Structure 1
Amino acid sequence: MNPTVIVVHGGGASSISKDRKERVRQGIVRAATAGYNILKEGGSAVDAVEGAVTVLEDDPEFNAGCGSVLNENGEVEMDASIMNGKDLSAGAVSAVRCVANPIKLARLVMEKTPHCFLTDQGAAKFAAAMGLPAVPGEQLITERNIKRLEKEKHEKGAQKSDHQKSLGTVGAVAVDCRGNVAYATSTGGIVNKLAGRVGDTPCIGSGGYADNDIGAISTTGHGESILKVNLARLTLFHVEQGKTLEEAADMSLGYMKSKVKGVGGVILVNKAGDWAAKWTSTSMPWAAAKDGRLHSGIDLGETNVTDLP
């Protein structure tokens, strides 16, 4: 029996207020616990990462699902992807508007179509055909994100570097008792983005990757930077070259920072049950569950360890 492990992230952040930090911490712990329970009951790595990410999409504290940031027109457009390391099957969706859980739609693309990636209206039609309930767009819009958009439009003059802004993406990686690995990543993107903008999250090799022979990874950060360096596959390339998960993460994140000034974070797992969480943004909420113990943190150097119920 392989060791079962799940690691989740709640996106990078430049600063999180104290009261919000507690809500984010609770959300990330809830997601990791939900995913770990699926693994404990013999569920697959794909089930576990989908389950964990669904919890985060349903939590308005995170930039995914019902907490998604708004584009320049004040609309929600979401991206997500998922991959099974057993056979490299993958599913992705982008510019999705009226679905509560884009990650569920991405999994349906993976399992019910011959394709890897559906977008916008095609994805919406497919969701309807698969019986995924459509939710009114306004149901996904939070008061906080309306204010965020107003603030962003207002501050456009004093342009803050796009690289440092809204690094919100959620994701999970897992290894199940059969030694299969998987990843899932989901996001609402960048505040005030152009309509139709797609970042790294739904792009296999950038937003995540999973291969039983190497490991699974989910990324977060400045999407355009991540796309330019194929952050997920680049990190796993270093693992293939014999680097530890932590070394590989440090190398690829360092490369992205020096090459395109992009900041971000990654979570990784391999079938031996090793895991890592690394980031170059100010903070990255994360949690990892293994051997009945839960490790979690938000800021650099911070790790809390508790027993899982």
Structure 2
Amino acid sequence: MTKPFSIAIHGGAGTILPEQMSEALSTEIRHDLEKSVRAGHQILARGGDAVAAVVAAVKVLEDSPNFNAGRGSVLTHTEMVEMDASVMHGKNANAGAVAGVRHIRNPVELARDVMEHSPHVLLIGDGAEEFAFKHQYQYTEQDYFVTDRRYEQLQSMKEKGLFALSESKYPDDNKHGTVGAVAMDQHGNLAAATSTGGITNKQYGRVGDSAITGAGTFAENGNVAVSATGMGEYFIRKTVASEIAARMRYLKEDVHQACEAVIQGDLKAMGGEGGVIAIDGDGEIHFAMNSSGMYRASIDIDGTLTVKIYVDE
């Protein structure tokens, strides 16, 4: 017996204000969000697996220069792109992740292949890329990922001695532009995927929550799938994604209660800004954020499409 299916995606949360957003950029971003969620939904509609759906959705956002993942990733202190991604399948708690990759066009695909074609969960740096090339991935030059916007952003950060997305002249400066997707397929499987370029001007091989199972990504059949976006260090310390799952599993909170309790509760009290997208075992979707906006879209079990940016939409 097939079940209803649904999908939700995000392109980052943070200080996203209408007065800072041009109409042209808003239209472009909304188009990307719709394209992403439709790509994943088409797979679900054909009876495809939830993992295939979330990977397809995230790839669309990685390929867009408008988000901090894949092409358009922010730059490190040494003017490089270093990307992280993770995928989790709720059926057998299987997971795969990569961190610090520099020459892989779609890190979310590599994270999936770590999950499906290796005995490991997390591969980093040169080792992750060695694994990729053994599995016929193409070497992608850094020039593909770097945009003028991100280069200017890095210079602004260096001048101010900062290492975040909070102090430059772009409309999404104070935004944590991680991208992600969660889905439930017709077989009741839940899956989540998350991908990011990290933070501007990062040093020392820093890795955030996007590559950490249970922090930025989590999926458990019959319970919930979660993808997070925000200040990674806080999301790791609070193990945000697994905390939401635990509240649902043990306290019997619904997806709305659990997400809000974590995002508006301890995480916010710690100083952690950001949000999550989540989907429960019935395909119910929830977006939670303690910021002024989150790029997001969904197609629910009734087939209704929504695309939103600001917190009050």
Taking structure 1 as the reference length, the TM-score comes to: 0.94
Q: Deviation at 1:213?
A: 2.7
In structure 1, runs of 5+ residues without a counterpart are: 303-309
Q: Deviation at 1:247?
A: 1.1
Q: Deviation at 1:158?
A: 11
Q: In 1, Cα distance between the equivalents of 2:254 and 2:203? A: 38
Q: In 2, Cα distance between the equivalents of 1:267 and 1:157? A: 28
Q: Read off the aligned partner of 1:24 and give its amino acid letter.
A: I
- 1:245 aligns with 255
- 1:14 aligns with 15
Q: Deviation at 1:142?
A: 0.6
Q: In 2, Cα distance between the equivalents of 1:20 and 1:32? A: 18
Q: Read off the aligned partner of 2:25 and give its amino acid letter.
A: R
Mean Cα displacement is larger for which, 176-185 or 6-15? 6-15
Q: In 1, Cα distance between the equivalents of 2:13 and 2:261? A: 18
Q: Read off the aligned partner of 2:223 and give its amino acid letter.
A: I
Q: Residue 130 of structure 2: which of 97, 100, 125 is its match? A: 125
Q: Is the 8 A contact 1:73 1:195 kept in 2?
A: no
Residues 1-309 of structure 1 correspond to what in structure 2 (within 5 A)?
Answer: 1-15=2-16, 17-18=21-22, 19-156=24-161, 165-240=174-249, 241-290=251-300, 291-302=302-313
1:79 counterpart SS class: strand
In structure 2, runs of 5+ residues without a counterpart are: 168-172
Q: Deviation at 1:258?
A: 4.1
C-alpha distance 245-25 of structure 1, shift in aligned 2 (>3 A):
same
Q: In 1, Cα distance between the equivalents of 2:220 and 2:228? A: 15
Q: In 1, Cα distance between the equivalents of 2:109 and 2:242? A: 23
User: How many pairs align?
Assistant: 301
- 1:307 aligns with none
Q: In 1, Cα distance between the equivalents of 2:291 and 2:254? A: 21
Q: In 1, Cα distance between the equivalents of 2:63 and 2:268? A: 35
Mean Cα displacement is larger for which, 253-262 or 38-47? 253-262
Mean Cα displacement is larger for which, 286-295 or 16-25? 16-25
Q: In 1, Cα distance between the equivalents of 2:304 and 2:165? A: 40
C-alpha distance 293-258 of structure 1, shift in aligned 2 (>3 A):
closer
2:96 counterpart SS class: strand
Q: Read off the aligned partner of 2:238 and give its amino acid letter.
A: V
Q: In 2, Cα distance between the equivalents of 1:73 and 1:158? A: 12
Q: In 2, Cα distance between the equivalents of 1:234 and 1:288? A: 23
Q: Deviation at 1:254?
A: 2.0
Cα offsets for 1:131-177 (capped at 9, x unmatched): 01110011110111001101111222799979x94411000000000
Q: In 1, Cα distance between the equivalents of 2:143 and 2:162? A: 28
4+ runs deviating over 4 angstroms:
157-162
Identity %: 39
Q: Is the 8 A contact 1:2 1:271 kept in 2?
A: no
C-alpha distance 289-238 of structure 1, shift in aligned 2 (>3 A):
same
1:196 counterpart SS class: coil
C-alpha distance 160-215 of structure 1, shift in aligned 2 (>3 A):
closer
- 2:170 aligns with none
Q: In 2, Cα distance between the equivalents of 1:158 and 1:95? A: 17
Cα RMSD (Å): 1.7
1:250 counterpart SS class: helix
Q: In 2, Cα distance between the equivalents of 1:25 and 1:67? A: 16
